Amino acid sequence: MRKSLFACFVVFPLLFLSCRTDFDFVVKTGTLGFSKDTVYLDTVFSSISTSTYTLKVYNRSDENILIPQVKLAKENASKYRIMVDGMTGIDSDNSGIGDGKVFENVELLAKDSMFIFIEATADINDANPADFLYTDEILFGTPNNYQKVNLVTLIQDAYFIYPNRENGIVEGVDFGFDADGNVTQVQGRNLSENHPINGNELVMTNEKPYVIYGYASVPVGKTLTINPGARLHFHAQSGMIVQENATLKINGALSNTEALENEVIFEGDRLEPFYSDIAGQWGFIYFRDNSKDHEINHLTLKNAIVGFLVQNNAGTPMKIRNSQFYNCSNVGLLARFANIEAENSVWNNAGQAAVALTFGGSYDFKHCTINNNFPESSQAALIVNNYFEDNAGTETAFDLSKCDFTNCIIYGSGGKNIQLDKSDLKLFNYSFTNNLVRISDGDPYYNSALFDVLRNQQNGNIKNRQPGFFNLRNNQMNIDESSPAINAGTPTTLGQVSTDILGRPRPTPPSLNPDMGAYQNAPFPED
């Protein structure tokens, strides 16, 4: 039986001790007041505990009262657990901690109140099959005169992917190599084409969400295909690893409703609204050396530590199209000597950098919006370099054969919003053409010749003019007709990127040029 709620609050009884022991209590029922008549616990996945919710109970009378019973209607069969005024209730299994189901003779002083803490762990099979609601009641009083508070939880079924455990040892998957060249592992397991419960895990659909514990590994030489509308939820310290010669194909599509019915979504496994925009809830998607031929379409990834970590991928360039990466606690896209083409995609807010293209490589970004207003002092929207320096100060350089940004918005609040860091030992080929950027004119860092094209607004670049995003806080990076990005792009990209991230056509010359960024302008929605 789950006792996590009570373990968290074992100190609470001490807070409710009183120096007086001479209070007189009257047995009384039917006179209590409540902060709410129904407690709605937010949606949770089957067999995963909810957050803890509170109910306040009031004694508004002038008498100290004794409540004969406070209990869950289903008693020990209930999937709810409650703590009443710091107490855990009757201990039916002699575990040393009450079950959180039944309480007797609960005292409440005159004109006083008490808290009840509530949580649940229910399986989809416990829920009503018609609406997937799991319900119970908290009863106060006696069988002839109960007052009731309803409890309601929506249970969502899911496919669960987690490592096996045998003799206390948790299954692992290959992650990398240590300093001596030995293989290192993290907790996780390979996805299977014929899993006994989940079926073919290498083709993910929108039938049910997928909840991942540890790292789900795409095996060597295999392809994971994720179809439109699929939802992947990652537990804390969990993620995905795409192994050598393995491929990830995300086949999201344009959606017609605000429910994003065709978007593929990667996020954490806490469904409560409080967690909807908290960074760092889960790990990362790691593309190991020589993984290959990745195609990412209409993906929304949010609240990771690192969104994508792409390292020395092989084959054709990774193609990222019409995708969004939000609220990563470290980096949205971290590339190491990678080969990436990105179109109509958005990166917003990360603790260190929205996009970091490191150790050289080859990159081509067209009509992308890269912004970083994360509440840190040193965050950047974009970092580009072509070398690595170890702890001893030894520099290893790599060729940056191509790093092109065309018709992009690269903005943010960081002091060094765009960082270019070059080793002369290897190639450092880059270009900025028709972009809206922010750089700090008064910072000597930007006096370097590397920034001439931006500082002097050459090649159609515009600096230090607010893009006019609709709502940065809510990751709504669309622009309207007042933005300086309007008609400021070059038409050379139209053959490849003829529509924007929402599928709206970009204008064709000679009448108009396309807008910069992932979105064509449109009037903002009214409140």
How far is the CA of 475 from the CAs of 89, 228, 346, 393, 478, in angstroms? 45, 22, 9, 39, 9
At 22, the pLDDT band (50, 70, 90 cuts) reads low
Confidence band for 17, pLDDT divided at 50, 70 and 90: very low
pTM, two decimals, is: 0.88
Q: Are 33 and 52 in contact (CB under 8 A)?
A: no
In the 8-state DSSP scheme, what is residue 93? T
Looking at residue 319, its amino acid is K
Tens digit of pLDDT for each residue in 369-412? 999 999 877 899 999 999 999 988 899 999 999 999 999 999 99
pLDDT at 213 over 50: yes
Question: What is the rounded CA–CA span in Å between residue 432 and residue 454?
Answer: 8
**Residue 82's closest CA among 184, 179, 6?**
6
Distance CA 250, CA 263 (A): 10
Residue with tokens 């003799």: 167
- The answer to whether the Cα torsion of 518, 255, 293, 220 is positive or negative is positive
Which residues have CB under 8 Å from 259's CB, separation 6+? none
Mean pLDDT of the region 35-54: 93
Q: Identify the band that residue 441 occupies on the pLDDT scale cut at 50, 70 and 90.
A: confident
CATH number of this structure's domain 4-156: 2.60.40.10
Please report, for the chain, the start and end positions of each structural domain, with discontinuous segments joined by +. 4-156, 225-482
Q: Is the pLDDT of residue 314 over 70?
A: yes
Instruction: Name every residue whose Cβ is closer than 8 Å to that of residue 435 and which is 6 or more positions away in sequence.
Output: 405, 406, 407, 408, 409, 410, 454, 460, 461, 462, 516
Q: Residue 27: what pLDDT? A: 81
- Is 235 in a helix, a strand, or coil? coil
Distance, CA of 236 to CA of 187 (rounded, Å):
12
Residue 9 pLDDT grade (very low, low, confident, very high; cuts 50, 70, 90):
very low
**Average pLDDT of the segment spanning 214-225:** 98
**pLDDT for the residue 417:** 96
Q: Tell me what the mean pLDDT of segment 167-190 comes to.
A: 93
d(CA 499, CA 515): 11
In angstroms, how far apart are the furthest CA atoms of the chain? 91
Helix (H) or strand (E) holding 13: helix 12-15
Q: If you search the block for the tokens 């599928």, which residue do you land on?
A: 503
Judged on CB neighbours under 10 Å (0-12, 13-18, 19+), 177 is exposed
From 245, 184, 263, 248, select the one nearest 216 (Cα to Cα). Answer: 248
Instruction: Read off the tokens for 365.
Output: 């970004």
DSSP lists the bridge partners of residue 380 as 353
Reply yes or no: is the peptide bond before residue 129 cis, omega within 30 of 0.
no
Nearest Cα to Cα of residue 293 among 242, 249, 241, 344: 249
